[in-house]
Structure 1
Amino acid sequence: MAVAARLERFLARKGIAYKELAIDQVTSLDAAVIASGQPQADFLQATLLIDIGGAVMAVHRFGSGLDLPAAQQLTGRRLQPLSARQVTRLFGDCDPGFTPPIGAAYDLPVWVDEDVLGLDRVLLSSGTDHALIEMDGRSLRLALAGAREGHLVIRGQGNGDREALTLEEVADKLQKLYRLPPMPALALKILRLTTNTEATARELAELIEFDPSLTAQIMRYARSALFNYPGQVNSVQEAVTRVLGFDRVAHIALGIASVRAFEVPRRGLLGMDSFWRHSLYCAFLCQTMAPRIGVDKGLAYLCGLLHNFGLLLVGHLFPNEFSELNSLREANPEVSMHALEQQVFGQHHDQEVLAVGHGAIGGILHRLWQLPDPVVKAAGVHQQIGYRGNHENYVLMVQLANALLKERGIGDEFNPDDISALAAGLGLSDADVNQLQADIDQVAPDLDALAQSLSS
């Protein structure tokens, strides 16, 4: 079926004309927009909100960020975003992540942004992962009859009349338009050493000891209470052989050395202080999950540690826009990072390549740096809930770790995830999740201290 059952019945009952557009099966609305090859500015999306009075649908242009305080003021209600589980219950005939922006078909009251009803042509989700719906302006107004209108999005801008970019085009444009930082020489040497199956702890220690700052940070890491090593650690080689192991030292050193490619402010929810805290917590959780899932612990740690490098690249290339993004993140905790990035970068034609999101940007950078494929994939699609494909377990581990960290105010996303569904995708039980949360409690002070030392 190309159109969700309830939506199809509603449109037929109202006599509303529309056209189905088949696309390749995709995992998210973002991917559907790209797959369609249609102008992004023609797409609508729905945001679901709820309070004690029930659920409400807000309809706005794709890529615009819903201004929750404005919506609350307009409606006079204390609305908050629905969880993924609540959305699934309301839209049981739809594929997850493909909510049609036609609330009347699901008996929901609708508020529509003032930029929407005047459009001559729109594209919207059909409720399925393999088709879209096209409507003219008249059909749209019939479908949204009875909706209340108002200013609902951040600064009210859409994304202009631009074609969606493929990731291959993004990678090509990034390399042509911007001076991308090369992997620092020390990081490159460490990476090459990790690919040598005959490399020794002594060789790794000697490489690290050429850099006094990196040496001090590795020693601090080995001596931290995270590992409760009872004896003295007097050298990097002892840190490798007695406490941390080759892979862990190599990966943390690779992360520390790689970060030196970027000039990013320390402060703010997206600054370097928060980056290190988020990355270390995520790496710890991914490494802890790995044995339960049957994947490589070292790669899992590296995926968690490096998954957010796209944010550093954005901050490095565009410090002014990064500052704006940082401010928007703090002022709009309920809005997705994707929407905020669209808001900041989707407005300017010379920067639209960055509007694909920091995840995709980070994945492209990791590919250029020739990092392992799971690390590339975990960075590239960690914003894409519902991802299925290559290195899926590594992606899901990062997503579950981020979901658990959101509950603690750690990270760059704060809209809630369906933790049970993410855990189930990895074969983890509720008891496993509870144990992961207990593990975080146990090591939090030490991770905080380590993060502070790395960002200073």
Structure 2
Amino acid sequence: MALAARLQRFLARKGILYTDLPVPQAADLGAAVIASGQPRSDFVQATVLIDIGGALMVVHGLDSALDLEAVFQLTGRRMQVLTGRQTMRLFGDCDPGFVPPIGTAYDLPVLVDDDVTHTGRVLLTGGTDHGVIEMDGRDFRLALAGARHGHLVIRGQGNGDRAALSLDEVADKLQRLYRLPPMPALALRILRLTADSEATARQLADLIELDPSLTAQIMRYARSALFNYPGQIHSVQEAVTRVLGFDRVAHIAMGIASVRAFDVPRKGALGMDNFWRHSLYSAFVCQSLALHCGADKALAYLCGLLHNFGLLLIGHLFPAEFEELNILHADNPEASMHSLEQQVFGHARDEQILAVGHGAIGGILHKLWQLPDAVVKAAAMHQHPGYHGDHETYVLIVQLSNALLKPRGIGDEFNPDDTSTRMEALGLAPEALADLEREIDRVAPDLDALANSLSS
């Protein structure tokens, strides 16, 4: 018999039918799956989680990796995976490593991934190392009656456990293992000019005009309907003094020049086209939010513009893995980017440092490039809900900006956000956001056109 005693009694009591499929004694579930000769895609597995509120089982496909952020979004609980020893204390009648994905038989609350709820046939371990069992999908769902359902996984091959690294360790490893791109010379000169309180619009214009392409892009920006300037603009200096202002010109010019350090494809959800669209919208929204919460609008603009540079660095250093990340993102639009990055970069020892996420990677790059501390922190922490610490206002502004842009299909992840909490933390009233939404609608065509010109 391929069933643990407690599971066997549960199924008999419920009148649930199953077929026993004996296999030679196996060392683990993976070996049992192979020995069964059955399609791996038909198997489901159990992942047992725990927090101070107790244990919880998540049932999902064998060829999927659990997204803990999705579990949090569904339950409001920050949970961690039980160790093998802890798990076997709950499943004392089962062989080690063979946990039946029917938590109801063991009085555990259960979450079920949406993919499992639509299967017509299910294969699973019954708790022993010498067999698997087959069930009709309807019977399996009956066995899990009362479970909650949701999209809980990242589809694709899992990567196993990973040890956490501190940001200092990540920064050290990045510099030792990879040739990080230096800030382009023109961007560096613009950055240094912004640090000079005596710098003039003429000096900034002279720098920008060293690059004809950058000059054309700044002029196009100044002439756009974003600013509704009624007169003619004939030079970069006029764009600075009459329309855009010193800080805005400096920041957009620095962003354009900095992007040239990276070789990243244009197309795809994470490609350069969408990067620029996300960055320009985010910069606009961050600057607008800053006006409502007493933050420096120029600094907020720069935080929004540069917060996603970590994605460019990953694409530049690891083009093959970046393409894989693009594919995973397309297949799992509800999954958090942080979870997808762990999926792609958690398997190889040297690349494991990138599993901390593109936010942290971008923050490290900004720090190496000596960008303002608020920009560093906004990039490093924009993937971390609930952040409290230095430059918290700018982190919250970037996070809220991303949340507001998600319904428009702008950004690199679309899992739900706690928008109201961030609004409250920034002291924003609902009517302020309504006004901002109307402003975004007004400038959207111009932001889209500018993004297209910058990525081409």
Compared CA separation, residues 141 and 331, structure 1 to 2 (3 A): farther
1:268 counterpart residue number: 268
Any residues of structure 2 matched to 1:108-257 within 5 Å, and which? 120-121=84-85, 135=86, 137-139=88-90, 144=103, 145-146=106-107, 153-160=154-161, 162-257=162-257
Residue equivalent to 1:303: 303
1:359–1:383 CA contact under 8 A, matched in 2:
yes
Deviations 1:125-181 (A, max 9, x none): xxxxxxxxxx35324779952567979653342434x43211110000000000000
Question: Structure 1 residues 416, 428: CA separation in 2 closer, same or farther (over 3 Å shift)?
Answer: same
Q: Aligned partners of 1:247, 1:400: CA distance in 2, in Å? A: 23
Equivalent residue number for residue 13 of structure 2: none
Q: Residues 304 and 139 (structure 1 numbering): CA distance in 2 closer, same or farther, change over 3 Å?
A: same
Q: Deviation at 1:236?
A: 0.2
SS of 1:203 mapped into structure 2:
helix
Q: Is the 8 A contact 1:307 1:359 kept in 2?
A: yes
* 1:332 alignment counterpart: 332
Go from structure 1 to structure 2 and tell me whether the alpha carbon gap of 1:243 and 1:65 turns closer, same or farther (over 3 Å shift). farther
Give me the CA root mean square deviation. Answer: 2.8
CA–CA separation in structure 2 for the residues paired with 1:156 and 1:229: 53
Maintained 8 Å contact 1:65/1:340:
no
Deviation at 1:120, TM superposition (A): 2.1
Q: Distance in 1 between matches of 2:67 and 2:381?
A: 25
Cα distance, 1:45 vs structure 2 = 5.2
Code of the residue aligned with 1:302 in structure 2: it is L
Query: Equivalent residue of 1:263, what SS?
Result: coil
4+ aligned runs moved over 2 Å, structure 1: 43-47, 56-61, 64-68, 80-84, 98-101, 139-156
- Structure 1 position 58, deviation (Å): 2.9
CA distance in 2, matches of 1:389, 1:345: 27
> Structure 2: which amino acid aligns with 1:274?
N
Q: Which runs of 5+ in 1 are unaligned?
A: 1-42, 48-55, 69-79, 89-97, 102-115, 122-134
The 1-side partners of 2:238 and 2:397 are apart by 30
Does the CA contact (< 8 Å) of 1:65 and 1:336 recur in 2? no
> Which of 75, 79, 99 in structure 1 is aligned with 2:78?
99
The CA deviation string for residues 361-394 of structure 1, in whole angstroms up to 9 with x for no partner, is 0000000000000000000000001101100010
Counterpart CA distance in 1 for 2:92 and 2:196 is 63
Amino acid at match of 1:58: V
The answer for the alignment partner of 2:259 in structure 1 is: 259
Any idea what SS the aligned residue of 2:241 has?
helix
- Give me the whole-angstrom Cα distance separating, in 2, the residues matched to 1:403 and 1:393: 15
After superposition, residues 26-45 of structure 1 pair within 5 angstroms as: none
Determine the C-alpha separation between the residues in 2 that align with 1:163 and 1:269: 29
1:45-98: CA deviation from partner (whole Å, max 9, x where unpaired): 589xxxxxxxx973689xx84489xxxxxxxxxxx96895x744xxxxxxxxx4
Question: Which secondary structure state, in structure 1, belongs to the residue aligned with residue 156 of structure 2?
Answer: helix
Aligned-partner SS, 1:450: helix
Cα–Cα, structure 1 residues 44 and 312, in superposed 2: closer, same or farther, change >3 Å?
A: farther
Counterpart Cα distance in 2 of 1:140 and 1:100 = 19
> What is the CA–CA distance in structure 1 between the aligned matches of 2:401 and 2:72, rounded to whole Å?
17
Write the distance in 1 (CA, Å) between the matches of 2:176 and 2:375.
Answer: 24
Per-residue CA deviations over 1:416-447 (Å, capped at 9, x if unaligned) read: 10211111110001111211211111111110
| Partner amino acid, structure 1, of 2:445 | P
Distance 1:236 1:140, change over 3 A: farther
Distance of 1:452 and 1:46 partners within structure 2 = 46
- Cα distance, 1:182 vs. partner? 0.2
Structure 2 SS opposite 1:393: helix
Instruction: Tell me the residue number matched to 2:359.
Output: 359
Which residue identity does 2:375 align to in structure 1? V
Q: Which amino acid aligns with 2:88?
A: G
Q: Distance in 1 between matches of 2:91 and 2:218?
A: 59
Q: How do 1:37-116 residues align onto structure 2 when only pairs under 5 Å count? A: 58=58, 65-66=65-66, 84=73, 87-88=75-76, 98-100=77-79
The whole-number CA distance in structure 1 between the counterparts of 2:411 and 2:308 is 10
Sort the Cα spacing of 1:59 and 1:45 in 2 relative to 1 into closer, same or farther, 3 A.
farther
Q: How many residues were matched structurally?
A: 354
Identity of aligned residues (%): 66
| Residue type at the aligned position of 1:138 | R
Q: Matched residues in 2 for 1:405 and 1:65: separation? A: 27
AA partner of residue 327 (structure 1) = I
1:400 maps onto 2:396 in alignment: no
Secondary structure, in 3 states, of the residue corresponding to 2:58? Answer: strand
Bigger CA radius of gyration: 2
Distance (Å, rounded) in 2 between the aligned partners of 1:275 and 1:436: 22
Counterpart contact for 2:50–2:79, Cα < 8 Å: yes
CA distance in 1, matches of 2:92, 2:260: 53
Q: Per-residue displacement from partner, 1:224-274 (whole Å, max 9, x unpaired)?
A: 000000000000000000000000000000000000000000001100000
- The answer as to whether partners of 2:72 and 2:78 remain within 8 angstroms in 1 is no
Label 1:183 to 1:153 Cα distance change in 2 as closer, same or farther (>3 A).
Answer: closer
Say whether residues 1:287 and 2:257 are aligned partners.
no
Partner of 1:454 in structure 2? 454
Q: Give distance in 2, aligned partners of 1:318 and 1:452.
A: 24
- Over 3 Å counting, the alpha-carbon distance change for 1:154 and 1:193 in structure 2 is same
For residues 141 and 227 of structure 1, the distance between their equivalents in structure 2, rounded to whole angstroms, comes to 68
Work out the CA distance in 1 between the residues paired with 2:426 and 2:185: 36
TM-score by length of 2: 0.73
Work out the CA distance in 1 between the residues paired with 2:48 and 2:264: 34
1-side partners of 2:240 and 2:375: how far apart?
A: 23
